Amino acid sequence: MRSLECKLMESQPWALHAHDSGARLPLHAHDATHLVVVLAGHFTDVSAGTTRSCTPATVLLRAAGEPHEDRFCAARSSYVTMAVAATLLEPLPVETIATRHRAAAQIAAALEHNGSSAKPVVTRLLTGILRHVVRRARVQRARQLIVERSREPARISAIAAEVGLDPLDLPRAFRREYGRTPSQFRAETRVLRACDELRRIPRLPLAEIAAMCGFYDQSHMTNAFRRLIGVTPLQYADSSKTAAGGGRTFRA
């Protein structure tokens, strides 16, 4: 996304909107994906069965073609929209993303004090917000893929490439978002799945459970259990039986 800011600075593809309390935009959709940054007021966004309360600093990355309606509640609500080229989001799945970003206040201040000269400033700030939202969406998609493929020997670097991130960048971004690296999260996912299997089928051989849950072998699973929950799989299985009888148990 290094060329993103240059592209936006050339086209100035954003617009400022304002609506009074009681106004309503009926169900509609946009041909292109849009970034929406709320600057002032309060309105309710309804789309695909989801109702979002939009207040200053709310950011939406609206998927192209998604029907939605807006109901304005505050005396005066304002927001900025910016069309986003689909190529900037590849290879992410097309879905609406909601978050918040403190740069919304800077955009509001620039528009209030700088008038027409605010355009380059607003474009730069919107570019930064878009960069943040898309990067966060890539990390969230990586998390989803790790869960879906935790039974497989998939490389984290391959998942990074699939969501459009550098393999060296994903661990840092993932830790900022979730407080752990992708590898640590995958290990936790596998251990939790193994715990479920141990409770569900306690007599199943540990080697089979290890293979079912994505571990290389039984030893790999045992080491992960010790590191993450402080017991071996066998001890966990025994504790689950004890818990069923009202005795002491371990928590995964």
Residue 64: pLDDT above 50? yes
Q: Give the chain's domain count.
A: 2
Query: Would residue 58 count as lying in a domain?
Result: yes
CATH of the domain at 199: 1.10.10.60
Based on the fold, state whether residues 40 and 93 are members of the same structural domain.
yes
Query: Would residue 46 count as lying in a domain?
Result: yes
Q: Tokens at residue 172, please? A: 């840092």
pTM score over 0.85 = no
Mean pLDDT of 13-39: 93
The domain in which residue 123 lies consists of 4-141
Query: Would residue 213 count as lying in a domain?
Result: yes
Give the phi and the psi of residue 178 in degrees, each rounded to 5.
-125, -5
Question: In the structure, what pLDDT confidence band is assigned to residue 251 with cuts at 50, 70 and 90?
Answer: very low
CATH of the domain at 118: 2.60.120.10
Based on the fold, state whether residues 118 and 12 are members of the same structural domain.
yes
Closest CA to 39 of 96, 102, 98, 83: 102
d(CA 69, CA 47): 7
**Sequence letter at residue 217:** D
Query: Would residue 195 count as lying in a domain?
Result: yes
Window from 18-32, 37-51, 128-142, 235-249 with minimum mean pLDDT: 235-249
Based on the fold, state whether residues 101 and 9 are members of the same structural domain.
yes
Based on the fold, state whether residues 115 and 220 are members of the same structural domain.
no
Q: Tokens at residue 77, please? A: 């609500």
User: Last residue of some domain: 81, 108, 141?
Assistant: 141
d(CA 125, CA 146): 32
Query: Would residue 55 count as lying in a domain?
Result: yes
